[in-house]
Amino acid sequence: GQQIGCITCALCIDACDKVMKDIGRPRGLIDYATLEQCEAEAAGAPATPAWKALLRPRIFIYFGVWAAIGAGMLFMLGARTHTDLTVSPDRNPPFMLMKDGSVRNAYTLRLRNMEARPRDMEVALTGLPQGAVMWTEAVSMDNAAPVQVIAVPANETKVVRAYVMLPPGATADNFSFRLTSLDEQREQDLAETRFAMPGNE
């Protein structure tokens, strides 16, 4: 109630309703009400029915706002991609200069499959000059290529050690790994990183 000592426990309402029932009088002598309702009842107006107190315009406004928020969250949940890629380049050493003059960088790739089924994912190099190749711990350098296919288990993040090499004389700076799921969805994710070499490390 409006009294400073009221803690809204409703025990007074329950006790009053019990007494009113015992003496055959209508309940509601003590009840929840706004100051406006108290003044109206003191002036002789009938008590406001409970359904009118609930079905107020702002109740519908609140309901509409929360319904819109819920619908938006459901839409974002359904529309989100189920594929994710993050790339971390090696810092020490930033690159390796090979005997033939080619330059090799090492990266840690994290391929995330957010579906309840295993999926094959294609990792491709974009933004590097022609002749750039990649291989992983599971693929030998002899089978290096600009594109590699990696199997990712269901609902898991697969950590892959990848090596990227530029041919002698080629230069590069920023480039990207492009991840594509090899299923009907063909979801993609792009992770930008840097290729370190003599002069730009």
List the domain boundaries for the chain: 11-79, 83-194
Q: Could you give the C-alpha distances from 118 to 25, 43, 147, 156, in angstroms and in order? A: 69, 72, 20, 9
- The pLDDT assigned to 80 comes to 77
Which residue spans within the chain are E strands per DSSP? 83-89, 96-97, 103-113, 119-126, 133-136, 147-152, 156-166, 174-181, 188-194
pLDDT of residue 77 exceeding 70 = yes
Q: How far apart are CA 114 and CA 135, in angstroms?
A: 24
Give the CATH class of 83-194. Answer: mainly beta
Q: Rounded to an integer, what is the distance from CA 151 to the centroid of its chain?
A: 23
> Which residues does residue 108 pair with via DSSP β-bridges, in sequence order?
88, 161
Q: Specify the pTM.
A: 0.64
- The pLDDT assigned to 53 comes to 66
Tokens of 176: 């990207």
pLDDT of residue 1 exceeding 60 = no
Q: Which residue reads 């990696």 in tokens?
A: 150
pLDDT tens for each residue of 45-56: 776 676 776 778
Cα–Cα nearest to 123, from 101, 138, 142: 138
If you write DSSP's letter for every residue of 34-57 in order, what string do you get?
-HHHHHHHHTTPPPPPHHHHHS-H
Write down the mean pLDDT value for the chain.
90
- Kindly tell me the number of DSSP H helices and DSSP E strands found in the chain: 4, 9
**What band does 201 get if pLDDT is binned at 50, 70 and 90?**
low
**What band does 156 get if pLDDT is binned at 50, 70 and 90?**
very high
- The pLDDT assigned to 2 comes to 66
141 φ, ψ (degrees, to nearest 5) = -65, -30
How crowded is the C-beta side of 14, counted as CA atoms within 13 Å? 4
